[in-house]
Structure 1
Amino acid sequence: MIPLTLALATALLFTAWGYKNAAYYSDRGNVLYNQNQLEEAIASYRQATQLDPNNSPAYNNLLRSDRCLSSSFKFSRYARSTSCFGSP
């Protein structure tokens, strides 16, 4: 819970300063992913990868989120309980 809280606090602080970089969007994506808001998480990870094309964690989380959202994983009880909704 502490990393999620820290990520959210960091995202809010960057927003308050008007400073949005790849780390902001990656952290925001992590928060959204953990709240099961996959479409919004994907959008944040895409923004992170556009701002920093070498951000491999954002690419990995983007692919993971997209896979979870796909119909082949969306209704799979196993995928939902193990690989899709753990921390990115």
Structure 2
Amino acid sequence: MALASLTKAQHWRDIDLMKADYLTRLLFGEKPPLEGITNRDVYPSCLFMLSAIVADWDGDDGAIRSVLADAEEGVALRGNVLAT
């Protein structure tokens, strides 16, 4: 919830805090209820939450690239294909 709240304060005042929190919990392996969460929630929430993380890291390009590369690898291991 801290990440969702920070995102609301710094980047997107219209973020749905509950849905954003559920998406973050999903990322960490929990299985929160996803009923009612659509792409219209997922894409902007994730984009703005990532922006909040990057801002918190003071734009540390190396750390950001490393985390994104790990995430892409995880997606690929699950059999998903990222659009290029």
TM-score range, shorter chain: 0.3 to 0.5
TM-score, with structure 1 as normaliser: 0.32
More helix per residue: 1 or 2?
1
TM-score, with structure 2 as normaliser: 0.33
